[in-house]
Amino acid sequence: MDPRDYTRSADGQPPDAYREFDATELYCPNCREAVPVRKHLLLVLPEGDKYEYRCVYCAASVGTKMDHQRKPVSLIL
C-alpha cells in the first residue's frame, strides 16, 4: 500500500489537520538564527485575517500569514 494514501481523504483533499499551520520558529535576520515567534493580528480583511510573525527577542517582523475564513463575512449596515 502506498503511504501517500494515508494523507488524503476519499475526495482527494488533505485532512483538515494539514490545511493550516502556525509557525513556532522562523529565521530572524537581526538575530541571525531561527528564533521563537509571536503571532500578531495585523489586518482584518474581507478575504481573511492577515497575521504578522515577530521575533520574541528583537520584535522584528519575520513573516506574515493570511488566514482565509471558511464562511464569507456579511455586513449589516
pLDDT of residue 73: 58
In the chain, domain spans? 36-70
- 49 vs 15, which has greater pLDDT? 49
- Max mean pLDDT range (13-22, 36-45, 61-70): 36-45
> Tens digit of pLDDT for each residue in 2-28?
555 555 666 666 666 666 788 999 999
Q: Say if CB 49 and CB 69 are below 8 A apart.
A: yes
User: 10 Å Cβ neighbour count for 50?
Assistant: 14
Distance CA 77, CA 74 (A): 10
Q: Judge if pTM exceeds 0.75.
A: no
